[in-house]
Every structure is written in C-alpha cells, then in structure tokens.
Amino acid sequence: MESIKLFLSGTDRLRDMLCSTADGGSKLSRGVREIVAERYPGRAEVEVVFESSRGASSLRQAVEAGPSQLSSSRSDIVVTSVDAEFTATEAASADEYEADMLAAIRSIKSDPGSHIIVLLASTIDPETIVSNYQREESDPNSLRVHRYDLAAMRLSFEEGISVLDVDRIIAEMGAADHVPAFLDYSEAACDAISQEMVRIMDDYAFFDERPLLPQVGRDTK
C-alpha cells in the first residue's frame, strides 16, 4: 500500500478544513485521510502531520533555518493556507507574502522535494459590509484576502504549485450559510474543501501506479 505523507503548515483553521476530529480537527468526522481510505481502499494510506505556522514568513524560516518537522523528514505534499497571514500581529503585505512564499516554495521543491498546495481563503467577512472603499481608513478583510489570493495564484503560474480555490467553493455553496465568521467555514464547507484536496491529489497520480505529475511553472528551471 502506498503511504502518502501530508504535511500541514498553518493554523488550526487549516486543520479544521482538512482533518477529522481523530486527526486534530474540530469539525469533520472524516477528513482527507478518511476520504482517501474510502475511495482507494488498499491502494493508499495518508499520514497527516501538522505544524503550527503564522504564515509564509514562518514557513520560510522553518525550511531555511529550522528546526522543523518539515525540514527533518520528507513529506509528499506540503499544504499551507492564505488564512495564516491573518494571525500575525503585523500582517505582511501581499508583496511580502509573495516573496516569502516564493523562497519557501523553491526550498521545499528542491529539498525535501515535495509537492505544494496552497489553500486560498474566502473573501467573505459577514461582519463587514463595504459599499465605498474610499471611506475606509484601512483595507477591509475582503480586499486583503483578495490580494493574498492573487499573489498565491501568481505563484501557481510561475512555480507550478497548486492552489485550492476555497473562495470558489464557498461561493458555489452560498456564503450566507457557510461562513459564520471571517475565515470560519461550516462543516459542510470543510467537507467540500477536503474532497477538493483529494481530487487534486488524484490529479497528480498519488493513487495510481504511474509517475507523479511534476509541478512545473513558467519560472521552473
């Protein structure tokens, strides 16, 4: 049976989106590990490792300096999330996020040689209704998320990493019923996100007896 190590670097929100309660999540009875076991019995087994991170800057430091679970053992897939940028006391700008992620991505792809998937974030903030951005003293959360999401999508094009479009999934399901608070998603939404993660893994051929599809972007050497 194929063993797939899934390394999650982010906040508890990332764990909630992808992990069952048995794996440390707080919302799902089955997460990515259980979905894979159901869909591909006897073919693949997922091991989930979680390391708390406050965003791209923390991830970059972990892969470049350590010590980190990521730097000490090879993972098949490294997963991060845009939402982690909202945990820092002084949040990085979208440009700073992009620069830190670029450095982290190139380090991870070369050593330990993992595939990388970045979860985008929902732009919905139920507590903020903005009709005119010019009257806002600071950027609303929805606009900040949009900028981070765009930065992650640019990195996907340039470096070949995958992005999981949480904003699209939430929009299709209906944000009013599935985003009770900013960056907080319902159980049903988290289940849909986990299902999409498994689909991406399948696209890379993690469950097939064939070579894995490489992550090749415009700037990949």
- Which residue do the tokens 């992620």 mark? 101
CA gap 190, 35 in Å, rounded: 13
Q: Determine the pLDDT at residue 64.
A: 81
Q: Is the pLDDT of residue 219 over 70?
A: no
**Residue range(s) defining the domain that contains residue 158:** 2-203
Mean pLDDT of the chain: 90
Q: Is residue 167 part of a domain?
A: yes
Q: Determine the pLDDT at residue 128.
A: 74
Mean pLDDT value of segment 91-115? 90
Q: Determine the pLDDT at residue 65.
A: 75
CATH code for position 19: 3.40.50.1110
Q: Is residue 217 part of a domain?
A: no
Q: Is residue 76 part of a domain?
A: yes
CA gap 83, 188 in Å, rounded: 19
Mean pLDDT value of segment 60-88? 81
Q: Is residue 218 part of a domain?
A: no
The predicted-structure confidence for 6-24, as pLDDT tens digits, reads as follows 999 999 999 999 999 999 9
The pTM assigned to this predicted structure is 0.92
Reading phi first (left if > 0) and then psi (alpha if -120 to 50, else beta), residue 208 is in: beta
Q: Is residue 211 part of a domain?
A: no
Q: Is residue 11 part of a domain?
A: yes
Contact 119, 17 (CB under 8 A): yes
Q: Is the pLDDT of residue 131 over 70?
A: no
Q: Is the pLDDT of residue 154 over 90?
A: yes
Question: What are the residues whose beta carbons fall under 8 Å from the beta carbon of 43, sequence distance 6 or more?
Answer: 1, 2, 207
Residue 126: other Cβ atoms inside 10 A: 12
CA gap 97, 160 in Å, rounded: 17
In the chain, how many domains are there? 1
Q: Is the pLDDT of residue 156 over 90?
A: yes
- By DSSP bridging, strand 44-52 and strand 115-119 are unpaired
Mean pLDDT value of segment 34-42? 95
Q: Is residue 143 part of a domain?
A: yes
Q: Is residue 153 part of a domain?
A: yes
Q: Is the pLDDT of residue 184 over 80?
A: yes
Q: Determine the pLDDT at residue 109.
A: 87
